[in-house]
Amino acid sequence: MYLPPHFREDALDAQHSLIRAHPLGLLVSAGAGGLVANPIPFVLDAAAGEKGTLRCHVARANPQWRELQTADECLVVFQGAQAYITPSWYATKRETGKVVPTWNYATVHAWGRPQIFDDADWLSRQIHALTDLQEHPRATPWKVDDAPEPFVAAQIRGIVGIEIPIARIEGKWKVSQNRPEADRAGVEAGLVEKGGSNDMAALVAARGKPS
């Protein structure tokens, strides 16, 4: 990933936080048929390994897991907040007109050697962990055990587990750090006025200043 110094985010806690907030990762691998990419929800175990471990499961019918069996490395891309940034929000536009549009975003890329699991107990723990993480905020969380046991067992037979100990991880927060203070203020105000999710406005406010 192209990482200008002012956009780098090397703090592992920040990288892990983005993964937890945006757990649908793009799993990318290369095999005999070329590059393959699938969006897959992941569970992050931050305590497993120096940089953490990613776990997921895919449909047994998905051929990607077979390619991962012999892969030395795969990549998972997690995409956080993102937004188009119009030059009209910049004070510099009114001063000089020398501005262009851009796109702000936060992303984490994680690499590691995948391991395949076809064990019912491992898969049961995985689906319970993933479900509990996503259901926990609900007033009445749904649990895997709410479904009939034979039905769950049949579903487990239709999936394969993947574990990726993170060997390398990079974070990039491109949130207007390269703009003057007045331009950053204009971006924050413009995003808030635009409405919708203000996640990017919050990032610009909190992290949009050069270090």
Residue 153, token pair as written in the block: 């067992």
How many domains are there within the chain?
1
Residue 187 is assigned to a structural domain of this protein: no
Residue 15: domain span: 5-83+103-178
pLDDT value at position 93? 87
* 25, 44, 142, 162 alpha-carbon torsion, rounded to 10°: 70
Contact yes or no for 166/54 (Cβ under 8 A): yes
pLDDT value at position 52? 98
Residue 204 is assigned to a structural domain of this protein: no
| Confidence class for position 109, pLDDT limits 50, 70, 90 | very high
Nearest residue to 38 (alpha-carbon basis) of 20, 57, 52, 19: 57
Which own/partner pairs from 202-205 qualify as long-range (CB within 8 Å, at least 24 positions apart)? 203/81, 203/104, 203/106, 203/173, 203/175, 204/104, 204/175, 204/176
pLDDT value at position 203? 96
pLDDT value at position 32? 86
Residue 71 is assigned to a structural domain of this protein: yes
| Confidence class for position 210, pLDDT limits 50, 70, 90 | low
φ, ψ at 193 (rounded to 5°): -65, -35
Mean pLDDT, residues 105-117 taken together: 98
pLDDT value at position 98? 86
pLDDT value at position 18? 98
pLDDT value at position 33? 85
pLDDT value at position 25? 98
For residue 22, give the CATH number of its domain. Answer: 2.30.110.10
pLDDT value at position 209? 63
Q: How far is the CA of 189 from the CAs of 9, 175, 198, in angstroms?
A: 24, 14, 10
Give 7-53 pLDDT, tens digit per residue: 999 999 999 999 999 999 999 999 888 999 999 999 999 999 999 99
Nearest residue to 29 (alpha-carbon basis) of 18, 40, 21, 43: 40
Q: Give start and end residues of each alpha helix (H) in the chain.
A: 12-21, 64-68, 91-95, 120-135, 149-156, 181-194, 199-207
Instruction: Please state whether beta strands 43-45 and 53-59 pair in parallel, antiparallel, or not at all (unpaired).
Output: antiparallel
| Confidence class for position 211, pLDDT limits 50, 70, 90 | low
Give 122-152 pLDDT, tens digit per residue: 999 999 999 999 999 999 999 999 999 999 9
Residue 203 is assigned to a structural domain of this protein: no
Give 164-202 pLDDT, tens digit per residue: 999 999 999 999 999 999 999 999 999 999 887 789 999
Residue 96 is assigned to a structural domain of this protein: no
CA distance 165 to 145: 28
CA distance 69 to 39: 18
Nearest residue to 113 (alpha-carbon basis) of 60, 63, 144, 76: 76
| Confidence class for position 208, pLDDT limits 50, 70, 90 | low
Residue 69 is assigned to a structural domain of this protein: yes
Mean pLDDT, residues 156-160 taken together: 98
Residue 183 is assigned to a structural domain of this protein: no
Write down the residue that tokens 């750090």 correspond to: 177
Specify the higher pLDDT residue, 151 or 93: 151
Residue 184 is assigned to a structural domain of this protein: no
